[in-house]
Structure 1
Amino acid sequence: MENNSSVSGGDHLVYLCDWPNFETVIGAIFILIFILSVIGNSLILCILTCYENLNDVTNLFFLNLACSDLVFTITLPFYTVYSLHHWVFGDVACKFLTSAYFVGIYSSVILLTAMTVDRFITVVLNWPRNPVKRRRYAIGACAGAWVISIASSLRDAMAVKVEAFDENTFSCEASSETSENNLDYYLQTSLLFFLPFAIIIFCYSAILKTVLTTANRQRRRTVVVVLCIVAAFFICWGPYNTFILISTLYKPVGCYEEERFYIAYSVCRVLAYSHCCMNALLYMLSQKMRRHLLSLLHCENTRRSIRDRGTGQSSSVIQNAAITAQNSADILELKSN
C-alpha cells in the first residue's frame, strides 16, 4: 500500500511512503541467515581445529574466513531489531556494531585476496618452495587483514551516532555532516572492494590457465574450491556495492520510484548478508570436509556403538566360556560315576 502524501522539507518535497510488512520479511530472512551462519561456521571451526592441520596455509585462511563471517554474523540480530522497530541499543552499541559490521566485510575481502594471491604464487610462480616461509607469509597476511580491517572500520564507527526522530524513535546512521561529503567513503569502498576484485580476476586468469595444463587433480580441486569461495563473495557483495554507488548519482522521486528503489536495495542487501553462511556450504564441496563433518556429527554415536559392541562381545565370550566350563565339569562328573 502506497502513501502519496508529502511534506515540505526545506527547498524540496519529502514523500511519506509506507510499505507494511516488508521489513518483517527482511527481518525473518536475517534471522534465518544468522542461524545458518552460526551453525555452519561453528562446525567449520570445529572441523578445522579437530581434524585438520592448521599449519597448512589453505586451512589457515579458511579458519580466518570463518572467524570473519562470525564477526559479521553477530551484528545481524541487532540490525534485525533495528529494521523492525528502531535503534534501542544506545550510542556505544551503535558504534561497536557498525565497527564489527565493517570489520567482517573488510577482513573477508582482504583474506580472499590474500588467499588468491597465495594460490597465484604457488601455482603459477611455483614459489616459495619452503613451506615454512610460505606459512609465515600467510600468517602475516592474516594478521595484516585484521589490522587493516579494524583500522578502516574505525572511521565508519566514528561517523555514526544515535539520532532521535522524535521522543521515542532513534536511528543509528551517519550524521548529516559526514554524509554530505562521501568522497572518502567511496574511495575506501573502491580500494577495499573493486581493487581486490581486479587483483583476483588477474590472478585467477593466470591460475586457471596454468591448472588446466597440468594433470594434478588434487591441485585442481583446491583451486576450484577457492575459486567458488571467491566468486560467491563478489556475487553476493557486488550488486550491493554497485547499488550504493548508483544511489549517489540517482535519487528516486515519488512513492512509486522510492518503493522500487527500496525493494532493489533490500534484495541486494539480503544477497550481501547471506554471504556469511555461504562459505560454510562451499567448504562442503571438498570431499575431505564432508568426511570430517560426518565424523564430527557421528563420533559420539560411533564410539558408543563400538563400546557397546565391545562390551557385548566380552560378555558373550565370558558367558560361552562359563557354559563350556560347566559342560566339561558335568562330563567329568558323569565319567567318574
Structure 2
Amino acid sequence: MTSVRDLHKLLPAVLIWLMHFKFCRSHGEETTTVFYPDYDPASFSYEGIPQLCKKESNRNFRLWFIPPLYSIICFLGLVGNLLVILTSFYFKRLKTMTDVFLLNLSFADLLFSLSLPFWAANGMDEWVLGLVVCKAMHTIFKVSFYSSMFLLSLISVDRYFVIAKAVSAHRHRSQAMFLSKVSSAVIWVMAVIFSIPEMTYTTINNKTCTPYSGNSDKLRVSLQASQIVLAFVLPLLVMSVCYSSIVQTLCKARNFERNKAIKVILTVVSVFLVSQLPYNLVLIWITVVTATGGTKDCDYENRLLYATDVTQSVAFLRCCLNPFVYAFIGVKFRHDLLKLLKDFGCMSQERFFRYTCGKRRSSGATDTETSTTFSP
C-alpha cells in the first residue's frame, strides 16, 4: 500500500497535471488550430531531404569482378618477379645500372603482389582484419606504387645516357654501380615518405578499409593531386623526353637492331600509358568533382565507382607486366632464364640447346654482355 509519506510526495504533481488538463480543455480549439493547420500527409514533399545513395550494384559487381582478376594478377606478379629476382642473384647479373633498377622494380612489384589478396578481401565483404592490416595494405600499395614509377623513370634516364650519350656513359662506367645503388635507396626512402598520409589517414569506415575517410575534402584533393603529379605526370614526362631522344638517336644509326629497339621502346611506353592513363584520368576527374563540392547524383556517383574499380584493376596489372616488358624481352635475360629452368630440372638439356643455340647463331652480336643496350 502507498504510505502517507508517498502520497505527500505525489500530491504536487497531481495538482499540476489537473491544472494543465483543465487549461487544455478550455483552450482546445485554439491549440488544435495552432499546431495542426490543415495537415495532409499525402501532400508532404521530401524534396531537399538528403537520401541514402544505394550502392548494392557496385558491391555485387566487385564480388564477381575483383576476386578472379586480382588472383590472376597476383599469380603472374609473383611468378614473373620471383623469376627476375632468382635469375639476377643466381647468375650475379648486377653489372649495369639498369640491372640494379630492374631488381628493385621486381622487389616493389613482388611486394605489391603479396598485398593483392587483402585488396580482394576488402572488395568482397566487410573488413574484418583490423585497422593495422588495413593501414599496412594501403601503405604497401603506395610504397610500391611510388617506387615503381620512380624506378621506371630512372630506367629511361639510364637508357638515354647509354644510347644517346654513349661516350660520356662509358667514361663514368666505374661510378655507375655505386650511383645506381644510392639512387635506388633514395627512391625507397622517398616512396615511404610520400606514403605517410596512407599510414596516417587510412581507417575503417562502414566496415570497409578506406583511405582519407572522414577527413576534409581539401586534404583529399591535395593528396590526390600530389599523387597524380608525382607518380604519373612526372614519370610520363621523363620517359617521353628520354625515349624520344633515344628514338632520334636510333633513327640516325644504321645498326640492324635499330627497328627492334624502337619497337621495344614503343611497347614500353604503350604498356605504361594503357595501364596508368585510364586510372589517372578517372582520379583527376574525381579530384575535380571533390574540389567543386562533390555530387548529389547517386547514379553519377555509382558510375564513378565503377570507373574507379575497372581502371584501378588495369593499373594493378603493372606488377605482372613489368617483368615481361623490361626483363624477359632482353636476349641476355631470356638466355639466363632458360638456363635457370634447366639447372632446376624444369627443362631438358636438349630443349635448352634447341631454344638457345639457333637463336644465338642468328643474333650474333646481340648475345654479348651489352645485349640489353637497346633494350628499355
- TM-score norm. by structure 2 comes to 0.70
Task: Determine if the alignment matches structure 1 residue 83 to structure 2 residue 123.
Answer: yes
Distance of aligned partners of 1:218 and 1:64 in 2 relative to their CA distance in 1, 3 Å threshold: farther
Corresponding pairs, count:
294
For residues 179-235 of structure 1, the C-alpha deviation after alignment (integer angstroms, 9 at most, x for no partner) is 442343113431332122112211111111012212345687667546634542332
Distance of aligned partners of 1:144 and 1:13 in 2 relative to their CA distance in 1, 3 Å threshold: same
Q: CA deviation at 1:144?
A: 1.3
Q: Out of 76, 84, 87, which is 1:44 matched to?
A: 84
CA contact (8 A) 1:225 1:286 kept: no
CA contact (8 A) 2:160 2:243 kept: yes
Q: Which residue of 1 aligns with 2:52?
A: 14
Q: Which residue of 2 aligns with 1:301?
A: 345
Q: Give the letter for the 1:279 counterpart.
A: N
Distance of aligned partners of 1:180 and 1:71 in 2 relative to their CA distance in 1, 3 Å threshold: same
CA contact (8 A) 2:122 2:208 kept: no
CA contact (8 A) 1:239 1:268 kept: yes
CA RMSD of aligned residues (A): 2.7
CA contact (8 A) 1:161 1:173 kept: yes
Q: Which residue of 2 aligns with 1:214?
A: 253
Q: CA deviation at 1:261?
A: 2.9
CA contact (8 A) 1:87 1:172 kept: no
Distance of aligned partners of 1:230 and 1:134 in 2 relative to their CA distance in 1, 3 Å threshold: farther
CA contact (8 A) 1:30 1:76 kept: yes
Task: Determine if the alignment matches structure 1 residue 184 to structure 2 residue 222.
Answer: yes
Using the alignment, how far apart are the partners of 1:100 and 1:62 within structure 2?
A: 19
Q: Out of 172, 190, 195, which is 1:148 matched to?
A: 190
Q: CA deviation at 1:255?
A: 5.0
Task: Determine if the alignment matches structure 1 residue 96 to structure 2 residue 140.
Answer: no
The residue correspondences of 1:242-257 to structure 2 (distance < 5 A) are 242-250=281-289, 254-257=297-300
Q: Give the letter for the 1:284 counterpart.
A: F
Which one has a larger percent strand, Structure 1 or Structure 2? Answer: 1
CA contact (8 A) 1:116 1:226 kept: no
Residue segments in structure 1 that go unaligned for 5+ positions in a row: 1-7, 307-337
Q: Which residue of 2 aligns with 1:199?
A: 238
For residues 248-283 of structure 1, the C-alpha deviation after alignment (integer angstroms, 9 at most, x for no partner) is 334565454344333222220110011110012223
Q: Out of 96, 101, 111, which is 1:61 matched to?
A: 101
Q: Which moved more, 1:195-204 or 1:146-155?
A: 195-204
Q: Which residue of 1 aligns with 2:313?
A: 270
Q: Which moved more, 1:212-221 or 1:241-250?
A: 212-221
Q: Which moved more, 1:183-192 or 1:102-111?
A: 183-192
SS of the residue 2:324 aligns to: helix
Distance of aligned partners of 1:211 and 1:304 in 2 relative to their CA distance in 1, 3 Å threshold: closer
- Say which one has the larger Rg: 2
Q: Which moved more, 1:245-254 or 1:290-299?
A: 245-254
CA contact (8 A) 1:75 1:101 kept: yes
SS of the residue 2:52 aligns to: strand
The residue correspondences of 1:128-139 to structure 2 (distance < 5 A) are 128=169, 129-139=171-181
Q: Which residue of 2 aligns with 1:330?
A: none
Using the alignment, how far apart are the partners of 1:73 and 1:18 within structure 2?
A: 28
For residues 137-163 of structure 1, the C-alpha deviation after alignment (integer angstroms, 9 at most, x for no partner) is 222221111111011111222121223
Distance of aligned partners of 1:263 and 1:170 in 2 relative to their CA distance in 1, 3 Å threshold: closer
Q: CA deviation at 1:17?
A: 3.1
Q: Which residue of 2 aligns with 1:289?
A: 333
CA contact (8 A) 1:111 1:141 kept: no
Identity score, percent? 26
Using the alignment, how far apart are the partners of 1:257 and 1:303 within structure 2?
A: 53
Q: Out of 264, 275, 278, which is 1:239 matched to?
A: 278
Q: Give the letter for the 1:246 counterpart.
A: W
CA contact (8 A) 1:95 1:160 kept: yes
CA contact (8 A) 1:159 1:174 kept: yes
Using the alignment, how far apart are the partners of 2:107 and 2:120 within structure 1?
A: 21
Using the alignment, how far apart are the partners of 2:347 and 2:157 within structure 1?
A: 42
Using the alignment, how far apart are the partners of 2:78 and 2:215 within structure 1?
A: 36
Q: Which residue of 1 aligns with 2:366?
A: none
Using the alignment, how far apart are the partners of 2:90 and 2:107 within structure 1?
A: 16
Q: Which moved more, 1:128-137 or 1:271-280?
A: 128-137
Q: Give the letter for the 1:209 counterpart.
A: Q
Q: Which moved more, 1:250-259 or 1:187-196?
A: 250-259
CA contact (8 A) 2:228 2:284 kept: no
Residue segments in structure 2 that go unaligned for 5+ positions in a row: 1-45, 351-376
SS of the residue 2:203 aligns to: strand
SS of the residue 2:204 aligns to: strand
CA contact (8 A) 2:135 2:202 kept: yes
SS of the residue 1:53 aligns to: coil
- TM-score norm. by structure 1 comes to 0.78
Using the alignment, how far apart are the partners of 1:264 and 1:133 within structure 2?
A: 46
